[in-house]
Structure 1
Amino acid sequence: MKDQLSEAYNLLIDKLEGWFNIIVTNIPNLILAILVLFAAYFVSKYVNKYVSKLMARRVEQNSITNMVGRISAVVVVLAGLFLALGILNLSKTLTSLLAGAGVAGLAIGLALQGTLSNTFAGIVLSFRKKIQIGHWVETNGFSGEVMDINLKDFTLKEADNNIVVIPNKKILENPLKNYTLTTKMRVFLECGVGYESDLEQVEQLTKETICNTFDQIEKPEDVEFYFTEYGSSSINYLCRFWIDAENALEKLRAKSTAIIEIKKAYDKADINIPFPIRTLQFDNKLSFEAQNLEKQFSNN
C-alpha cells in the first residue's frame, strides 16, 4: 500500500513539474499573446474610427458607415485572437475550433434565432436609404428621431426626450412612416363660429390670417377652407394648408401658431367662437298643469 501511494505521489509530482516547466517555458509566448490581444483591442477602436471616416466621404448614410466600422473592428479582434492562439502553439486547438464551428453554429443558431434575426435585420436596415440616422419616423406606436441603428436594436428619441429601443426585427416587419422624406406636411385645423357670424367673412379672414402667418403660403387661395356641419352651438369648419416641415414636432408648432393667430384675428373682427351651451327652460305649462291637478285631487 505504501509503495502504491509513493508511486502515485511521484507521478503527481512529475506531472506538476512537467506543467511548471511548460508554463515557465511558455511565459514569453503567453505574455506576447496577451499583448497581441490588448493591441488588437486598441487597434480595433482606431480601425473603427478610420473606416467610419473613410466611408463617410463616399456614403451619405451614417448607418452604413457605423455598421462597416463595427464589422471592421470585430475582424481586427478576431485576427488578434487567432494570432494569439498561434503564438501559444495552439494551432491544433484552433483547427478543432474551426472544425467544430459548423456543428456549434447550428446549435447556437437554433438557440439564438431571435438575436440572429435582429442582427440580419439591423444589416438590412443599415443599407436602406429611406431609413437613416437623424430622420424623424413613426413605427410600432412610437415616433421620434432615429439615434442609432446597430446589429441589435433600433433607437429612437421621442419629442419628450425619452429613448425608445426597438428590436430590429419589429422595424423590418412593421410599417414605418418617415416624415423626413417629405419636405412638406399638411396641417388640419378644425374650429367653429357662432351662428350670427358672416360665413364669407370668416372664410376670407381665416385664409388671410394663415397666409400672413406662414411665409411658405404665397396667397390666401392656397389655403383650403370648408364648412363641415351645423353643430349644436356653432357652425364648424375644416381648414387645411401646407407647411415646410420634416417632423411631427414642427407640424404641431405650426398648428399651435395658427390657432393663436386665428383667435387674435377673430377677436379683432368680433367673431365669436362659441362653446357648448345648455339652455334650461322653466316655463313648461305641462308641469304647472300637473301640479294643479295634484292640488285638486288632494283637496277633494
Structure 2
Amino acid sequence: MTSESRTTGSELQASAAGPNPSASDLVRGISPVLEVPFTDGGDVDLDGFERVVQYVLATGVSSVMFPGFASEFHKLSELERDTLTEILLRHTRDRPDVCAIVAVQDHATTLAVARARSVIAAGADMINLLPPHFLSPSRRALIEHVSAVLEAVAPAGVIMQYAPKETGTSLDAATLRMIAAESTNLRMVKVESSPPGSLIHELAAGTPSLLAVEGYAGVQLPDAFRRGAVGSQPGCSFIEIYQEIWRRFADGDLAGGDALHRRLLPYISYWMLDTELIIAAEKEISRRRGLFASARCREPAHRLDAEELSMIDRFMAEFTDFISIGV
C-alpha cells in the first residue's frame, strides 16, 4: 500500500471494512515499535532485525512503527537507518493489510520534510512525526515545522507523537486540533503524557475530532482504552500479552483485560522508569526468545543488574503461556 487518500474524522472512527482499508484504519489495537538488535561488537545485526520484522508481522498486527525510542533511533547512522527501513518496507509495501509507519524525528524542518517525502516514496504508509525539541523551539516554530511536514507528504497520513517526558515539548488539545483543521492528513496523536487519558478524551471530543493511540509501554492502557484510544504502541518483545489485553477490552471483557494488565503492570511500570532501562529489558527478553543473539544496547545505555535480570526471569515464568521461546 502506498500513501492514502484523505479521510474524514467520522470515517476514521469506523472500524476498517472491506478488502482495502485506508492506512489509518489499520492503526488500531496493538501497533508495536520495532527494536534494533546489535552484535556484541556494537554493529547492527541485520539478520536479527529481519527476524524481528518477521516475528512481529506473524503475530497478526495490522500496523508497525519504526524507528522510535525503542529502536534507539538516536544511536543509528543515516546509512543504518535507511538500510533497516528498507528491510521493513520490503516486508510491508506489497501488503494492503499492514500499515508501515516510519518515523521522522529530524530537528531541522528541511531535513524532516526531505526524510518524510523520501520514506513515503519508498513505500511507507504513514509518518510518525516527533516535533522538534532541541533548545526548546517556540510554539510558533514548532507549529510551522509540523505544518511543513504535513503539507510535504499530503495526502499521506501523519501520526503526531507527543512525548513530553522525553522531549520537554508542551502541547494541548486545542493546538493539535488547530493543526488538524488546517492539515487534514494529521490523522492521529500518539499520546505519551502521564497520564494520557484526559488528553485522549479531549482530542476525541473536540472539533475536528482526533483519534489517539497510547504509548509509554501500555502502563496506562486500561484508562486509555476507556477514554477512547484506538490502539497502543508498546515495544515489540512480548506483543502477545498486549494483544490479549486489547482483545479482552475490545470484546467487552473489561474485567479480564484489567486482570491481565495488573499482572503485567509491576514489570512495565518499573521498566518505564527510564527509557534506556525498558530498551535493555525488552532486548534481553527478545534474546531469550531467540530473536537475536545479543542483547547489546549502544552506549550510553542501561546495564541490567542482577536483580533486574532476576525480574526478567520472573517475567518469563509468569507469562510462559503467552511468550514462546524460539520464535
State the TM bucket, normalised to the shorter chain: under 0.3
Normalised to the residue count of structure 2, the TM-score between the two structures is 0.19
Whichever of the two has the greater Rg, that structure is 1
Normalised to the residue count of structure 1, the TM-score between the two structures is 0.20
Report the structure, 1 or 2, having the larger helix content: 1
Report the structure, 1 or 2, having the larger strand content: 1
